Amino acid sequence: MLKIIIGSFVLASSIFAVDLQNDGVEIKIKNSNDEAKTLIIKREKPQECLGVNFDPKVVYGGNHQAADSVKADCKRAFVTYMGKIAPMKFSDKVETFGEVEVLDFIEKAKNDKTMMLVDSRTENWFYHETIPSAVNVPYTYLKQSQYPDEFEEYLEILGVKKVDGKYDFTNAKTLLMFCNGAWCGQSPESMKYLSDIGYPETKMKWYRGGMQSWLSLGLTTIKP
């Protein structure tokens, strides 16, 4: 049995939380023989497993595990250690949803066209597999400076109009956004781009667990 001696620390910001992923959190423990030991809690990333491409067929094979192209020693590591762990909250105004809340959102959205489930991933991820009823709004196209035409088209889909050169969010939809999992940055990037132009954060919800959590619980998916 281990006794954990807990030190105090403060997560001052989400940036500091990201630093903890790289540096880890150092703690002191004692085993049943009262022997002291120092260890660092962090994500272990085997170097030989870091070079696998982020392709949906590679990440999620037919059994929703790492595909055959990922060597055996890296299968668990590859699916587990991609990306950076996101904080639980995007902001104080954006609600973070779990699976029950996602199901409730989907149920209500059937009769409320102001609500939209948004798959923020790029098209190759979306067409590989997604949550039923999700609309694909790739995060890349919400980067106004890079894709100005697509940006305007997708804003219309989200219910935003441009009036006299300014964005009108009066009829902006309530969005529930997701991507691949707690390690995936695509939906946070989408929320950031939208927030930057004034999209009300109170109209943005976030399914942080994304596809990885959804699949782990055996919930229904489709291939669009």
Q: CA distances (Å), 87 to each of 16, 44, 96, 219, in order?
A: 10, 19, 10, 24
Residue 59 lies in a domain: yes
Whether 192 and 130 map to the same domain: the answer is yes
Residue 112 has a pLDDT of: 95
Residue 88 lies in a domain: no
Whether 30 and 73 map to the same domain: the answer is no
pLDDT > 70 in the chain, percent: 81
Identify the band that residue 213 occupies on the pLDDT scale cut at 50, 70 and 90. very high
Residue 67 lies in a domain: yes
- 171-174: list long-range contacts, CB under 8 Å, 24+ apart: 171/114, 172/199, 172/200, 172/203, 173/113, 173/114, 173/115, 173/116, 173/203, 174/114, 174/115, 174/116, 174/203, 174/204, 174/205
Whether 189 and 111 map to the same domain: the answer is yes
Last residue of one domain, picked from the residues 81, 103, 136:
81
Indicate whether 47 pLDDT > 70: yes
Whether 34 and 102 map to the same domain: the answer is no
Residue 87 lies in a domain: no
Count the domains in the chain. 3
CATH classification of the domain holding 142 = 3.40.250.10
Whether 183 and 77 map to the same domain: the answer is no
Residue 223 lies in a domain: no
Whether 51 and 18 map to the same domain: the answer is no
Whether 22 and 72 map to the same domain: the answer is no
Whether 178 and 211 map to the same domain: the answer is yes
What type of residue sits at position 22? Answer: N
Residues 58-98: tens digit of each pLDDT: 777 766 667 777 777 777 666 666 788 899 999 999 999 99
Residues 145-197: tens digit of each pLDDT: 899 999 999 999 999 999 988 999 999 999 999 999 999 999 999 999 999 99
- A 10 A CB-CB count for 34 gives 7
Residue 9 lies in a domain: yes
Residue 105 lies in a domain: yes
What residue numbers bound the domain in which 37 lies? Answer: 3-41
Residue 158 lies in a domain: yes
Whether 172 and 70 map to the same domain: the answer is no
Nearest Cα neighbor of 205 from 223, 187, 181, 217 is 187
| Contact between 133 and 104 (Cβ < 8 Å) | no
Last residue of one domain, picked from the residues 81, 107, 135:
81
Whether 54 and 34 map to the same domain: the answer is no
Whether 158 and 69 map to the same domain: the answer is no
Question: pTM of the full predicted structure?
Answer: 0.77
Whether 101 and 204 map to the same domain: the answer is yes
